[in-house]
Amino acid sequence: MFRPPSASSPFDHPRADVVLRSSDNMDFRVFKLFLSLASPFFEALFNLPQPSDENTGNIVEMIDGLPVVPVLEDSGTLDILLRFCYPRTLTPIPPLDHFKNAFNVLEAAKKYSLDEVEKAICEALFNPKILEVDSLRCFAVARRARLRDQTIMAAKYSLREPLIPEWFEEIELVTAADLLALLTYHQKCGSALQQLHVSFSWIEQHYQNQNAVLWILGKATGRGCNCPRAKVAKLFDNQPTLWWEEFMDATFQALKDKPCAHTIHEMIEKTIQEIRRRSCQSCSSNIASVMCEFADLFAKKVEELVSEVELPLRLSGEVGYQFYVSKVGSAETS
Ligand SMILES: [Zn+2]
């Protein structure tokens, strides 16, 4: 007779009292008590008449004298879910680094009324590793679960995506009103940042005098270099280099589509490479360190302005809009 493989420790315990069989045919030998304590669903399930009762009429498979309960989850999902249910002394909380894993486990936790587990998974789902890659999918899940802080955090991370994002599977979970709110938020963030382009007073305030920005003015070695000068831009009443002006123009253009600190770091990286390829000794000599310091200032300003923009989310059943101010401590977008 076919005997499915057993799951790994601690789900292979010889004294377990029930077997859960995953959809891909793996047997998890588990203790009813742990699952019953974690979930009223399991408690009710295990309190049903035992399959060995002859009058139930159900033919239930037994293995080593234990009833086998088939479940719809695959072994990967079930393994994570059960580890969340078991005591910490028997197994640590498994890492959830991929959206798909976390999402499947979350759905299963909901199905089995594992409230505490659901909470723990939500926290695990909204970690930077997942948010950086799957912010829109996280937004969809958080919004659907009415998790306010996580919705804001995911919206903030979604500024790394283009204003009109590519299709993603969970878009079906998002209402048109919520999607409109997200797009509006994204566009407002993009517009808010343009004030930094209109005036460079924030740069002058930070550096205090032109001697601190000689690299922008094409005088990194004290004397002026031969690089062409800016057409419009001015800094401390001086003409910056043309490459710096072009870098700023291109960065503000990119920020309209992806209004976040991450965009700045990308543009800075590109510019450093480009300047190094040029033949100007003066401009390229110390470019990485001065540009990276400038990136930190620029990114800080972007974070400040973005954090003032509200996410206009409509709450179901309420008239009007609830504004979510996006001040969530750990929502780093750099
Ligand atoms: Zn130069």
List the pLDDT tens digit at each of the 334 positions of the chain.
678 899 999 999 999 999 999 999 999 999 999 999 988 889 988 887 665 555 555 567 888 899 999 999 999 999 999 998 899 899 988 877 778 778 888 888 888 888 888 888 777 778 888 899 999 999 998 888 777 888 999 999 999 999 999 999 889 889 999 999 999 999 999 999 999 999 999 999 999 999 999 999 999 887 889 999 999 999 999 999 999 999 999 999 999 999 999 999 999 999 999 999 988 999 998 899 999 999 999 999 999 999 999 998 865 543 444 555 544 444 444 3
> Across the strands, what pairs with 69?
20
Q: Ligand 1 centre and the CA of 218: distance in Å? A: 5
Q: Ligand 1 centre and the CA of 255: distance in Å? A: 26
Closest by alpha carbon to 213, among 223, 227, 203?
203
Q: Ligand 1 centre and the CA of 243: distance in Å? A: 9
Q: Ligand 1 centre and the CA of 216: distance in Å? A: 9
Q: Ligand 1 centre and the CA of 232: distance in Å? A: 18
Q: Ligand 1 centre and the CA of 241: distance in Å? A: 7
Q: Ligand 1 centre and the CA of 223: distance in Å? A: 10
d(CA 94, CA 92): 6
Q: Ligand 1 centre and the CA of 237: distance in Å? A: 18
What the block records as the tokens of 170 is 């969970």
How many CA atoms are closer than 13 Å to the CA of 322, on its beta-carbon side? 12
The predicted structure's pLDDT at residue 111: 87
Q: Ligand 1 centre and the CA of 196: distance in Å? A: 24
The predicted structure's pLDDT at residue 146: 77
Q: Note the pTM of the prediction, 2 decimals.
A: 0.73
Q: Ligand 1 centre and the CA of 267: distance in Å? A: 19
d(CA 173, CA 41): 25
The 3-state DSSP class for residue 187 equals helix
What the block records as the tokens of 248 is 């700023």
Q: Ligand 1 centre and the CA of 222: distance in Å? A: 11
Q: Are strands 66-70 and 62-63 parallel, antiparallel or unpaired?
A: antiparallel
Q: Ligand 1 centre and the CA of 239: distance in Å? A: 13
Q: Are strands 62-63 and 18-21 parallel, antiparallel or unpaired?
A: unpaired
For Cα atoms 95, 97, 100, give the angle at the middle one, nearest 5 degrees.
115
Q: Please name the residues in contact with 299: beta carbons below 8 A apart, sequence gap of 6 or more.
A: 261, 264, 265, 334
The predicted structure's pLDDT at residue 18: 94
Q: Ligand 1 centre and the CA of 197: distance in Å? A: 22
Q: Ligand 1 centre and the CA of 55: distance in Å? A: 91
Burial profile 40-69: b = 16 or more Cβ within 10 angstroms, e = fewer? eebeeebeeeebeeeeeeeeeeeeeebbbb
The predicted structure's pLDDT at residue 36: 92
d(CA 199, CA 252): 12
d(CA 283, CA 226): 10
Q: Ligand 1 centre and the CA of 282: distance in Å? A: 5
Q: Ligand 1 centre and the CA of 40: distance in Å? A: 70
Q: How many CB atoms lie within 10 A of CB 205?
A: 8
> Position of tokens 């590109």?
270
Q: How many CB atoms lie within 10 A of CB 3?
A: 9
The 3-state DSSP class for residue 250 equals helix
Sign for the CA dihedral angle at 321, 322, 326, 331 comes to negative
> Across the strands, what pairs with 146?
none
Burial-class residue 158 by CB neighbours within 10 Å (0-12, 13-18, 19+): buried
Closest by alpha carbon to 120, among 138, 102, 137?
102
Closest by alpha carbon to 322, among 146, 137, 191?
146
The predicted structure's pLDDT at residue 51: 54
Q: Ligand 1 centre and the CA of 252: distance in Å? A: 22
The predicted structure's pLDDT at residue 127: 84
Q: Ligand 1 centre and the CA of 264: distance in Å? A: 22
